[in-house]
Amino acid sequence: MDRWRGRVALVTGASVGIGAAIAVELVRLGMKVVGCARDVAKIQKLAAECQSAGHPGVLVPFKCDLTKEEEILAMFAAIKEQHKGVDVCINNAGLSHPEPLLSGKTSGWKNIMDVNVLALSICAREAYQSMKERNVDDGHIININSISGHQVIPAAEIHFYTASKYAVTALTEGLRQELRAENTHIRATSISPGLVATGFISWARSNNRDQVAGMYATRKSLETKDIASAVTYVLSAPPHVQIGELVVEPIYQVSCCPSNPSTRTQARLHIKVV
């Protein structure tokens, strides 16, 4: 990670959960991190904590509603003016609503697409343009995906969310192909976690609290720091190696191995040499 010290990373959805863990870890490793979210007060608190901890990097809070393209573009313009540009873009922000395909509200579906697909694509585009105009040839675009981007789980409340994550899988591979065609060494990676211990699922399935409780009771969940570690693993790959897809899941599941509550993770890697 030494080559990233002092360089600029954008982390979307940095106020809580996985995004907050990623932002803090990158600051701990010496990066200048622009963390964006609608609730910027939480990021400001994280920034103060990082400073108090004496981390060599810095966390810069930025208020941004990712459902509004004009706010995303204004954010990139501010990063250019204040920090020259983006070297690493981590598209972490994502959401879901319990809106099944047979009875869901169109407004909920649109909100999912706006954040999970369109905002991710806009940020990736703007990050690439930022790198290109500064002749940055070793930048990285990381999309925080989900195992739901690779399999359809029999849970009606997340079927539309699952479709959005399948889109992230396709978009990341599309990015890789386009970057390759541009003869650049800028890399694109999808990181797909299994169940992570955050408030995301409880919120996404707010109509079925018992089902949520059951999922956490029968499965070993990852911690947010596991995904932050996956990000640093990807960023630490040699310059000529691209990790296209990283799936992160617990080694042990509580339901099958309750006597061994290990939090270690296993990863399935899809690696391309560029």
Residues catalogued as catalytic = 161
**φ, ψ dihedrals at 34, nearest 5°:** -90, 110
CA-derived radius of gyration, the chain: 18
Closest CA to 246 of 221, 263, 262, 229: 229
| Torsion angle, alpha carbons of 224, 197, 187, 72, to 10 | -90
Contact 144, 94 (CB under 8 A): yes
